[in-house]
């Protein structure tokens, strides 16, 4: 395991970048996904249209293409966002990190939207009818009746989307982000004899991240259990 001990620092930094990517993109995906879902069920035709169009377009496009679009295309517009939140290596988020994370978040948002929507649709019709019957508005029926019940149904699909996102974060290696996928590639080139070992270790690292999401989801499911 000398490849590990020799490069411990780099590996941990790469892991850190992956975690950062996943957390930031996850938040973006959840927020945007929820907004898109609301748009798709709202009474405003244009909002429904935009929501539908967004999801449709994103779901049929490869994530790598979206990342390339951001990393190579947006600079064509003279936009090159960077975030330097501090001096530590993990806090210097260069333009490629920003682009890749944004792309990941926007991509996953479409899947979160669909997950939330299916959750909302799984609530029995009678609930929504009853809410209308006692005079609740769109906003109120959504907030007080539908969403709390949809929450339970939503957990699994949203967790799936986030798990897929964690695995997809490795695609950022194609646009110059020094995250775990890149680190694995580098280590395999430098230590070709430990190829298999390195692959298994990195695979396990991703599985760990996935396991965390799965655990949190399970905990939330237990708490949201209705009697």
Tell which positions 134-163 bind other proteins, by CB under 8 A. Answer: 137-138, 141-142, 146, 156-157, 160, 163
Q: From the list 23, 27, 203, 216, which residue makes contact with other proteins (rule: CB under 8 A)?
A: 203
Return the HEC string of the chain: CHHHHHCHHHHHHHHHHHHHHHHHHHHHHHHHHHHHHHHHHCCCHHHHHHHHHHHHHHHCCCHHHHHHHHHHHHHHHCCCCCEECCCCHHHEECHHHHHHHHHHHHHHHHHHHHHHHHHHHHCCHHHHHHHHHCCCCHHHHHHHHHHHHHHHHHHHHHHHHHHHHHHHHHHHHHHCCCCHHHHHHHHHHHCHHHHHHHHHHHHHHHHHHHHHHHHHHHHHHHHCCCC
Work out whether 73 is an interface residue with other proteins (CB under 8 A). Answer: yes
Question: In terms of CB distance, is 185 or 220 closer to other proteins?
Answer: 185
Q: How far is the CB of 100 from other proteins (least distance, A)?
A: 12
Q: Of 34 and 164, which CB lies nearer to other proteins in the complex structure?
A: 164
Which residue lies nearer to other proteins by CB, 105 or 181?
Answer: 181
Kindly identify the residues of this chain, within the stretch 75-94, that bind other proteins according to CB under 8 A. 75-78, 80, 92, 94
Number of residues located near other proteins, criterion CB under 8 A: 79
Query: Which residue lies nearer to other proteins by CB, 118 or 224?
Result: 118
Q: How far apart are CA 227 and CA 217, in angstroms?
A: 18
Contact letters (x/-) for other proteins, 26-55, by CB under 8 A? --------------xx-xxxxx--x-----
Minimal distance in Å, beta carbon 219 to other proteins?
A: 18
Selected binder of other proteins within 174, 194, 217, 221 (CB under 8 A) = 174
Residue 64, CA distances (Å) to 58, 104, 125, 171, 202 in order:
11, 9, 39, 6, 21
To other proteins, the closest distance from the beta carbon of 197 in angstroms equals 11
216 makes contact with other proteins (CB under 8 A): no
Of residues 101-120, those binding other proteins (CB under 8 A): 120
């Amino acid at each position: 395991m000398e490849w590990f001990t020799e490069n411990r620092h780099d590996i941990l930094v790469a892991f850190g970048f992956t975690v950062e990517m996943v957390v930031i993109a996850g938040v973006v995906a959840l927020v945007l996904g929820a907004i898109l879902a609301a748009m798709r069920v709202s009474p405003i035709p244009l909002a429904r249209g935009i929501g539908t169009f967004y999801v449709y377009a994103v779901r049929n496009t490869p994530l790598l293409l979206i990342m390339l679009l951001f990393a190579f295309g947006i600079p064509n517009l003279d936009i090159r966002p960077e975030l330097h939140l501090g001096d530590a290596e993990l806090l210097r988020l260069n333009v490629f990190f920003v682009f890749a994370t944004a792309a990941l978040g926007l991509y996953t948002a479409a899947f979160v939207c669909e997950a939330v929507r299916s959750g909302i649709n799984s609530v029995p019709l009678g609930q929504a009818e009853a809410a209308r019957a006692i005079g609740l508005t769109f906003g109120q029926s959504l907030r007080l009746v539908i969403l709390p019940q949809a929450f339970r149904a939503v957990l699994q699909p949203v967790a799936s989307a986030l798990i897929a996102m964690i695995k997809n974060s490795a695609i950022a290696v194609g646009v110059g982000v020094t995250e775990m996928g890149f680190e694995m590639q580098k280590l395999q080139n430098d230590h070709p004899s430990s190829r298999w070992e390195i692959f298994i270790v990195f695979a396990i690292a991703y599985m760990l991240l996935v396991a965390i999401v799965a655990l949190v989801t399970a905990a939330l499911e237990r708490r949201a259990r209705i009697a």
